[in-house]
Amino acid sequence: MLSYPSVNVLGGGLEKVFGFEDAVPSRGRFTLRFLDPPLEGGIPASDRETSLRLGNPEKSGEALGTYGYTRPIESPIAVYEDGTAAITHRSFGNGNAIAVGLDLGDFLLRGFSQRAETLFRGYVNEYDPASDILMAWLGRVFRENEADAVTLGTVPDGRAFSLLLTHDIDAGPSLKNSLEYARYEKSQGMRGTYFIQTKYLKDWNDAIFLDEEGARDLAALNALGMELGSHSVCHSDVFNTFPLGTGAERYPDYRPFVKDQKTAIGGSVLGELRVSKFLIETLGKAPVVSFRPGHLSNPTCLPQTLWATGHSYCSTVTANESLTHLPFQLNADRDFRAEVPVFEFPITVEDEFPPLTEDRVSAAIELTERIERVGGLYVLLIHTNETGPKLEFEKRLVEAVKEKAWTGSIRDFGDWWVARNAVSADVVPAGRRKTLELTAPLEIEGLSVRVPSRWEWTGSDPVDCATPSGAGVVFLKKIQGTVTLFFRDR
435 shares a domain with 382:
no
pLDDT on residue 1: 47
What are the backbone angles phi and psi of residue 116, rounded to the nearest 5°? Answer: -115, 35
Among 417, 451, 481, the domain-final residue is 417
User: For residue 164, what are the β-bridge partners?
Assistant: 379, 408
Q: Is residue 130 part of a domain?
A: no
For the stretch 303-337, what's the b/e string if a residue is b when 16 or more beta carbons lie within 10 angstroms of its beta carbon? bbbbebbebbbbbbbbbbbbbbbbbbebbbbbeee
209 shares a domain with 111:
no
Among 374, 400, 417, the domain-final residue is 417
Alpha-carbon span 263 to 234, nearest angstrom: 12
pLDDT on residue 2: 57
Taking the whole predicted model, whether its pTM rises above 0.85 is answered as yes
324 shares a domain with 185:
yes
156-189 tens-digit pLDDT: 999 999 999 999 999 999 999 999 999 999 999 9
pLDDT on residue 355: 85
Regions of the chain with pLDDT less than 50? 1
pLDDT on residue 181: 98
117 shares a domain with 10:
yes
The domain total for the chain is 3
Q: Is residue 151 part of a domain?
A: no
49 shares a domain with 13:
yes
341 shares a domain with 455:
no
pLDDT on residue 275: 98
Q: Is residue 85 part of a domain?
A: yes
Range of the domain at 284: 156-417
What are the backbone angles phi and psi of residue 81, rounded to the nearest 5°? Answer: -70, -15
pLDDT on residue 471: 81
Q: Is residue 132 part of a domain?
A: no
479-489: strand order across its sheet: 424-430, 433-444, 479-489, 455-461
329 shares a domain with 197:
yes
